[in-house]
Amino acid sequence: MAERTETIYEAIGGAETVERLIQAFYKRVAKHPLLKPIFPEDLTETKYKQRLFLTQFFGGPPLYLQERGHPRLRRRHLPFPITPERARAWLDCMNEAIDEAEIKEPYASMIFERLTVVAGQMVNKFE
């Protein structure tokens, strides 16, 4: 019988850690001069969707898929002008949030690497 491998979601502490990450991240987004303009003033729904997505993305329950269908991230982000500079700003905020959420290695690096790929895929406007 194959041995089950622990997911990133389980290894970092599950829902509690994802919540800390989201709170730390959006605290930064709400103040960032490049990111704030493309996010709604009320981040409640955005945080909720991110919670669903990150839970699934880190190997937890497929909450996003169950509630909203396939993520189709690029398509869902096309209405927002995402430049390479904004993608870097998003990653900077996420990197700081990973630290604040106290996600330890090797998981902090694994998460950041996976999100770096995603951020690059969201770029849809070049100056």
Beta carbons of 25 and 32 less than 8 angstroms apart: no
Number of domains in the chain: 1
CA distance 73 to 21: 19
Write down the number of H helices and E strands in the chain.
7, 0
In a domain, 27, yes or no: no
CA distance 35 to 90: 7
CA distance 109 to 98: 9
pLDDT in tens, 73-111: 888 888 999 999 999 999 999 999 999 999 999 999 999
In a domain, 114, yes or no: yes
In a domain, 24, yes or no: no
CA distance 113 to 22: 17
The boundaries of the domain holding residue 112 are 32-122
pLDDT in tens, 2-14: 676 899 999 999 9
Assign residue 89 the CATH number of its domain: 1.10.490.10
